[in-house]
Amino acid sequence: MFRKVAALALAFLLLAMVIASAACGRQEDGMDGEGKAAGTRDISASLQYDGVERTYLLHLPPSYNGEDELPMVFVFHGGGGGGEGMARVTHMSDVADERGFIAVYPDGIDKNWNDGRPEINPGINDVAFISALIEELKSGYSVDAERIYSTGISNGGMFSLRLACELSDKIAAVAPVAALMGEALSHACTPPRPIPVMFVMGTDDPLVPWEGGDIGTDRVYRGRALSAVDSVSFWVAVDGCSETPVVTELADEDPGDGTRARREVYAGGRDGSEVVMLAVEGGGHTWPGGEQYMREAIIGRTCRDFDAGEAIWGFFDRFTLDSNESGDADA
């Protein structure tokens, strides 16, 4: 028992090293905002904001030509991680290449995001930084301003929920993974418009409990979150969705992964919005379909029945900033 608690206590610290080592190698291709240069399409860049150099990795899909405006997805790392490692763990750049959107992997200060929990970077205005970064990228690249989205894991997922609360004039929809609504944020969140939200959450997450409450461990306290049920209910109320979900069991594509997934859709929200819970029975603090970035004993199981990146894009692709529902793609 002591060993398990100690292992969990170190998880957030180990995440920094594991995610950093997971970062894939890339070439600098010198591509400008017109996207004219040939190369790998991975660009390391920075933005001076509030006196600090803020860094990020930008991935342009092969379909980017500098003329046609493409959707853009922010992918936020968890506490202790980094943008490059997030790209490797999630395979989100592969989804971007196939589906034709720009992927952005920013780096948090001290490897964390101010997601509204008073314990995490309380003096850093990350919402304003992302707002400024959106404007920077819109001015330098062909971005569809009506189709900008946010996802992330853990701390990055909770930060996506904060963006839904405070930056809904620029973010069309969000999809937190292994993350729930922060307790403190739930008291301050009053978005001016309905915003589609999809949760991807494991029922056996050892760091962000499905039942809510304290995040982390006795040794590494990271604030508190609402339960999965209450997190969904919060956004169902905000968006005015039906309180009765349509539930679909996903196919058990990998019976050996120890997980099963189901989709709960709370439809009928204002302006076509909806709330979705992709619940992974037996799933841990992981990105379904992604890399098992730590031992199962520390973070739990990774579901192999579906790919979170594909599911997230399927959800995003249905909504725009102007008129939420834009299509009928399956999430």
pLDDT digits (tens, 9 = 90+) for 140-163: 999 999 999 999 999 999 999 999
Share of residues in the chain with pLDDT > 70 (%)? 85
Rounded CA-CA distance 170/259 in Å is 35
Q: What is the SS3 assignment for 220-274?
A: CEEEEECCHHHHHHHHHHHHCCCCCCEEEECCCCCHHHCCEEEEEEECCCHHHCC
What percent of the residues of the chain are helix, what percent strand, and what percent coil, each to the nearest 5? 30, 25, 45
pLDDT digits (tens, 9 = 90+) for 76-119: 999 999 999 999 999 999 999 999 999 999 999 999 999 999 99
Q: Closest Cα to residue 174, out of 313, 57, 325, 284?
A: 313
* Cβ neighbourhood burial of 161 (10 Å; 0-12, 13-18, 19+): buried
**Long-range contacts formed by 233-237: CB under 8 A, 24+ apart:** 234/181, 234/186, 234/189, 235/181, 235/197, 235/275, 236/266, 236/269, 236/275
pLDDT value for 324:
61
pLDDT value for 225:
98
pLDDT digits (tens, 9 = 90+) for 241-274: 999 999 999 999 999 999 999 999 999 999 999 9
Confidence of residue 28 (pLDDT cuts 50, 70, 90): very low
CATH topology for the 2-316 domain = Rossmann fold (3.40.50)
pLDDT digits (tens, 9 = 90+) for 296-321: 999 999 999 999 999 999 999 999 99
pLDDT value for 322:
84
Confidence of residue 71 (pLDDT cuts 50, 70, 90): very high
